[in-house]
Amino acid sequence: MFGITINLGLLGYFKYLNFFITNLNVLVNGNLYLEQIILPLAISFFTFQQITYIIDAYGGLTKEYNFLHYTLFVTFFPQLIAGPIVHHKEILPQFSNDTNFKLKASNISVGITIFILGLFKKVVFADHIASYVNPVFSAAENGIMLTFFEAWMGALAYTFQLYFDFSGYSDMAIGLARMFGVVLPVNFYSPYKANSIIDFWRRWHITLSRFLREYIYIPLGGDRKGKVRRYINLMTTMLLCGLWHGAGWTFIIWGGMHGIFLSINHAWKVIVNILFPHRKSNFFIVTKCFGRFITFTSVIIAWVMFRSEDFNDAFCMYSAMFGFNGISFQEMFTNGIIGNAKKGVLILFSMLVIVWFLPNTLDWLRGEKPALGLNLFFTKRTKILIWKPCMTYSVFLAILFFMAVINISKYSEFLYFNF
């Protein structure tokens, strides 16, 4: 209990104390003041890793007690900044195996490949898409009335920016670790291909979802204490998930929105099982297509709250997105806040094709077992677009690396600074 209190106390001080004081001043009309606290990078990630170890050690579930290995487990730099939130059962046994510390050509080639793909996603895709995101949300912050098209363009662009940013960081972490002979768990697996919100959270920030499920949702009672308690536990967990992402009410509301989405999804599954106990294959095809569309749209709408600085900004975006400022499809072909509208539509459509229909990095390298836990996602094997060390792929990766390097000098936004 002492160790958990110390870890949560430090996290609360650095990340949430200013947020608490600001809201307390509003509540009691006070004037308490505290100097801006500099947030240690990645404090949320390594705090959760230490908490999992402490809880499992108390429960007698840990087997590795080498202090040097534990320190390396907490500070292992490839995954320290943006995850994944590794579990001690996955990493500490690898540190105990001396053969993992020997450089291997196979690990270097696989690691460099994954790292280059992640770097390309981050600096070419994500940072370029940001040019369509920032003008729209800045306009909302300044109270400028957005058009229907501008708002949806900004929201969709942020949806893809965050996707490629997080996907890129996850790939770079896995790639760097693999160069050192360490295999990290999968943390990101094509979440926009999800056919439901439940499926989305099985694919998006997988290690965070695991922590929330095993160390918050299940200890609260999970689904073992009745249906009403299940939804309360689910909502509580997602509100805490939102708070983990940032010290702000927009993050908390974002978590609450996903808590509502998940509750509806679970309730819908119960209704479908009752109404359609003998479902046919064509039923699944229709529901999957419809489910993917509904899921993707719901995620976009929630991301607006996640990205907005405050409720006024989010309201400005939602007003335009839901047509309260009028709808005109001519906007798609006229330049405005986003600049070249036609180019923007083409780029975002290309991003949609990539995230919906192309294999992800881990699919491409599935033959090399690039990450832990992939057996949960690989349902069938195909030889199409499977990576192998050869001249063709080497040239392809060299081109991607060159394109990434020449774009590194440009402005790059670190989306995970608040985490």
CA distance 80 to 82: 6
CA distance 161 to 130: 6
Report whether the peptide linkage leading into residue 84 is cis, meaning its omega lies within 30 degrees of zero.
Answer: yes
> For residue 365, how far is the Cα from the chain centroid?
21
162 C-beta neighbours (distance < 10 Å), count? 20
Cβ atoms of 130 and 161 closer than 8 Å: yes
Give 336's strand partners.
339
**Is 245 one of the catalytic residues?**
yes
| Residue tagged active-site, from 87, 245, 258, 266 | 245
SS3 336: strand
CA distance 341 to 337: 9
Give the orientation angle of helix 249-275 with respect to helix 281-307, to 10 degrees. 170
CA distance 252 to 144: 25
What φ, ψ does residue 266 adopt, rounded to 5°?
Answer: -65, -40
CA distance 303 to 296: 11
Cβ atoms of 7 and 51 closer than 8 Å: yes
Catalytic residues: 245
